[in-house]
Amino acid sequence: MTGGIPQHSGTEIIVALDVNDRKDLEKWGVMLQAKVNWVKVGMELFYAQGPAVIDFLKEKGFKVFLDLKLHDIPNTVEKAAQVLAKMGVDIFNLHTLGGTDMMKRTALTIKCARARVKIIGVTVLTSHSDRVLKDELSISTGMEAEVLHLASLAKDSGLDGVVCSPREVRKIKESCGRSFLTVVPGVRPVWADRGDQVRILTPGKAVGEGADYLVIGRPILQAPDPLKAIDLIREEMEDSAPGL
């Protein structure tokens, strides 16, 4: 991995490798090497290929965000986190709805092990709307208030940042500090279909809000020319106007 891969004001693209076939993994591993520093391994790929996928990507020089959204009793998540840290991933996440005891114990065990890995907390999925929050999850505080509440719990528990929609980044930075990481899915270039994402912004507006990492999958993987798609996304990142 070369050090010349462009980035905008510290904001980096994480390509979501939402595939499950080994040949697809190897194809993308070769194709993306000269274009991005980071890739995301989610449930589909990890469950299909197992821990070996991490070894493969690290050998290719990528930094890896392992997106398994750990959510269980504190002891189970703490032990699982120790295993993940030994794999050499650079970021992994857990659900903030697992509670402060779960988050604190996990953060402390990683800190004590001196593992060089960042832990971030999932707040509210970017596929959720205000209606889902209120009518299905019975959370009546409102989207922004709920996300800020969960981000504050994550910060107080010793986590390094959160996963949130680009629309909540600015408020989280104001509340939790600029160094508190925001890893942002729900980013859609102007030319891409929104899919099942609800709370979205363009790459430029997400950067303008202060996002540290933009997690982008389908607009790249499903593009006729994926490398050109990355270039177009970076062009949009240069237009970093604040979001709505």
Active site residues: 69
- Half-sphere exposure for 190 (CA within 13 Å, toward CB): 8
Indicate the SS3 state at residue 38. strand
AA letter at 184: V
Rounded distance, CA 192 to CA 90, Å? Answer: 28
Indicate the SS3 state at residue 161. strand
User: Whose CA is closest to 199, among 172, 167, 171?
Assistant: 167
- Half-sphere exposure for 74 (CA within 13 Å, toward CB): 12
Using the Cα atoms of residue 68, residue 116, residue 11 and residue 104 in order, give the sign of their dihedral: positive
Sequence-ordered strand ranges (E) for the chain: 12-16, 38-41, 63-70, 91-95, 118-122, 161-163, 181-184, 213-216
Q: Which residues pair with 120 in a beta bridge?
A: 93, 161
Residue with tokens 């006729």: 224
- Which residues have CB under 8 Å from 165's CB, separation 6+? 124, 126, 147, 184, 185, 186, 199, 200, 201
